[in-house]
């Protein structure tokens, strides 16, 4: 059951603004589910490959629009600040500051005011549920990147100081959780598309997005027939739950693209360590290494991982084979010896078994917690993430 939000004054003004600009959206309804989450729903029965939304280029926030704005021109003077996300976040802040004078006010008025499910705002309760997962470390780096970008802009562009950090974080999160980058003539063009940015992601999905043939409209269309009242959903890409939670603040209960990050350290007592580090391109031997394990084996990822582990676990004779090759990393993509191969997969299984032990709950306990309910959305996301990671680790541990 959905609730039509078209009568909401801010939504009504947005639709009027878009209609005046030449947008087409009569086949879609902005609604809210029983949980209150905003989304897009079919206003009529839709056939497969039927366009249900068209937004003109004049009403899209793009990198080009942001770069040519007042704040954009100030940033352009500093090549080290030339990142699309910074331009577009700065543009949102500038237009929000202009209030009624901004052409974009109808669009800005419907943007979220906060992102309570995004892990940027996780506290002790959420991080306690993520013990064992490397997501907290990934989030810490992500936070540093955002804050470094902000401080760099403040340092080089004095006018940027009028935007406080918390507002910059809001603009950055608004951007990364709502932008799309459809391709036009082989080039990805990132944009914020009014109404289109309200569509939710799911797996599987029934809708796609892209540019009109002439590049003048952002379009969304169905992949299959969609009945009136059914929610329209799209995909953000073949991403793992770790990626989705990090950037967008949600996970899928069943995600075939799941991955787990596994840490490992090179044995410092290895007499061949220096040679191996050179081959692997590792400059800091004290740094902890991390590799990704996918739920469904990806040939490229697994090949790269196994080739690196072949080097890590090579003995003198096997290392000599690598040293005699024009490119040791290419040579390591093939088996060095049966003994080395067995050593590699035993080591991989051992690493996975050890990493499983760093979690404070079992997969069975996670499943019980999820079935019992009474969880906040953030807690549910954290538990689904860690259960998915343990599922992958179990597969590789048993395979070894």
In three-state form (DSSP H/G/I as H, E/B as E, the rest C), the secondary structure along 103-165 is: CCHHHHCCCCCCCCCCHHHCCHHHHHHCCCCCHHHHHHHHHHHHHHHHHHHHHHCHHHHHCCH
Closest CA to 109 of 19, 11, 37, 195: 11
**DSSP secondary structure string, 32-77?**
E-TT--EEEEESS-B-TT-EEEEEEGGG-EEHHHHHTSHHHHHHHT
Q: What is the CATH number of the domain that holds 53?
A: 2.170.270.10
- Provide the number of structural domains found in the chain: 3
pLDDT reported for residue 283: 87
3-state class of 326 per DSSP? coil
Q: Does some domain include residue 244?
A: no
Longest CA span, the chain: 75
The token pair at 300 is 């490229």
Within a domain: 247? no
For 182-204, give the DSSP string.
-EETTEE--EE-TTGGGPEE-SS
Considering Cα of 348, then 334, then 266, then 289, what sign does the dihedral take?
negative
Using CA atoms, how far apart are residues 301 and 137, in angstroms rounded to an integer? 21
Structure tokens at 48: 């497969």
| Distance from C-alpha of 159 to C-alpha of 134, rounded to nearest angstrom | 37
Residues 8 and 118 in one domain: no
Same-domain pairing of 70 and 121: yes
Decide if 283 is inside a domain.
yes
**Same structural domain for residues 223 and 309?**
no
Q: What is the pLDDT of residue 161?
A: 96
Judge if 49 and 68 occupy the same domain. no
Which domain range does residue 110 map to?
Answer: 62-181
Residue 373 lies in a domain: yes
Tell whether 102 and 16 lie within a shared domain: no
Residues 69 and 167 in one domain: yes
Tell me the C-alpha distance between 395 and 329, whole Å: 26
| Per-residue pLDDT, 2 | 52
Rounded to whole angstroms, how far apart are CA atoms 147 and 153? Answer: 10
> Domain holding 317: CATH number?
3.90.1420.10
- Tokens 């799911």 found at: 202
What distance in Å separates the CA atoms of residue 340 and residue 335, rounded to the nearest whole number? 8
pTM above 0.85, yes or no: yes
* Pairing between β-strand 289-294 and β-strand 231-234 as defined by DSSP bridges: unpaired
* CATH of residue 129: 3.90.1410.10
Rg of the chain in Å (alpha carbons): 25
Nearest to 354 by CA among 134, 136, 132: 132
243 found inside a domain: no
Check whether the bond before 83 is cis (ω within 30° of 0): no
| Same domain? 322 vs 386 | yes
Per-residue pLDDT of the chain (400 residues; tens, 9 = 90+): 455 666 789 999 999 999 999 999 999 999 986 567 799 999 999 999 999 999 999 999 999 999 999 999 999 999 999 898 999 999 999 999 999 999 999 999 999 999 999 999 999 999 999 999 999 999 999 999 999 999 999 999 999 999 999 999 999 999 999 999 999 888 899 999 999 999 999 999 999 999 999 999 999 999 999 999 999 999 999 999 999 999 999 999 999 999 999 998 888 889 999 999 999 999 887 778 899 999 988 889 999 999 999 999 999 999 999 999 999 999 999 999 999 999 999 999 999 999 999 999 999 999 999 999 899 999 999 999 999 999 999 999 998 6
Tell me: do 286 and 304 sit in the same domain: yes
Task: Give the pLDDT confidence score for residue 35 in this predicted structure.
Answer: 62
Is the Cβ–Cβ distance between 103 and 174 less than 8 Å?
A: no
> 115 and 42: one domain?
no
Helix, strand, or coil (residue 293): strand
Residue 1, pLDDT score: 40
Q: Is residue 338 domain-shared with residue 355, that is, in the same domain?
A: yes
Residue 241 forms part of a structural domain: no
First to last CA, the chain: 48
**151 and 106 within one domain:** yes
Which secondary structure element, helix H or strand E, spans residue 318, and what is its range?
helix 316-323
- d(CA 31, CA 198) in angstroms, rounded, equals 9
Bridge-based pairing of strands 3-4 and 28-32 is antiparallel
Give Cα separations from 173 to 115, 120, 121, 246, 250 (angstroms): 8, 9, 11, 11, 13
Question: Is 176 in the same domain as 111?
Answer: yes
Residue 255 lies in a domain: no
Indicate the residue among 181, 215, 248 that finishes a domain: 181
| CA nearest neighbour of 178 among 209, 139, 133, 138 | 209
């Amino acid at each position: 059951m959905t609730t039509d939000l078209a009568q909401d004054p801010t939504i009504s003004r947005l639709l009027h603004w878009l209609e005046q600009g030449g947008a087409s959206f009569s086949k879609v309804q902005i609604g809210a589910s029983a949980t209150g989450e905003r989304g897009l729903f079919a206003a009529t029965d839709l056939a497969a490959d039927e366009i249900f939304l068209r937004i003109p280029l004049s009403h899209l926030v793009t990198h080009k629009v942001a770069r040519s704005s007042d704040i954009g021109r100030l940033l352009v003077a500093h090549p080290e600040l030339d990142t699309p996300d910074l331009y577009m976040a700065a543009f949102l802040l500038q237009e929000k500051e202009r209030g009624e004078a901004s052409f974009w006010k109808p669009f800005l008025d419907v943007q979220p005011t906060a992102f309570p499910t995004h892990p940027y705002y996780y506290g002790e309760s959420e991080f306690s549920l993520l013990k064992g997962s490397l997501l907290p470390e990934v989030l810490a780096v992500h936070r540093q990147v955002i804050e470094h970008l902000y401080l760099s802009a403040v340092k080089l562009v004095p006018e940027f100081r009028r935007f406080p950090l918390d507002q910059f974080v809001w603009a950055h999160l608004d951007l990364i959780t709502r932008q799309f980058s459809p391709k036009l003539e082989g080039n990805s063009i990132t944009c914020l598309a009014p109404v289109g940015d309200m569509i939710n992601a799911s797996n599987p999905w029934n809708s796609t997005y892209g540019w009109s043939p002439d590049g003048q409209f952002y379009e969304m269309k169905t992949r299959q027939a969609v009945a009136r009242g059914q929610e329209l959903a799209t995909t953000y890409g073949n991403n793992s739950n770790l990626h989705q939670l990090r950037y967008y603040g949600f996970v899928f209960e069943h995600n075939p693209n799941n991955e787990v990050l596994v840490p490992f350290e090179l044995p410092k007592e290895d007499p061949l360590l220096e040679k191996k580090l050179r081959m692997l391109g590792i400059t800091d031997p004290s740094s902890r290494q991390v590799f990704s394990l996918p739920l469904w084996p990806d040939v490229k990822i697994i090949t790269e991982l196994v080739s690196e582990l072949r080097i890590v676990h090579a003995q003198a004779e096997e290392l000599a084979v690598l040293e005699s090759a024009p490119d040791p990393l290419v040579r390591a993509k093939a088996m060095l010896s049966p003994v080395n191969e067995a050593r590699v997969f035993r080591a991989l299984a051992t690493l996975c078994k050890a990493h499983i032990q760093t979690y404070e709950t079992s997969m069975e306990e996670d499943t019980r917690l999820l079935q019992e309910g009474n969880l906040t959305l953030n807690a549910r996301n954290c538990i689904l993430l860690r259960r998915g990671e343990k599922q992958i680790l179990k597969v590789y541990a048993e395979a070894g």
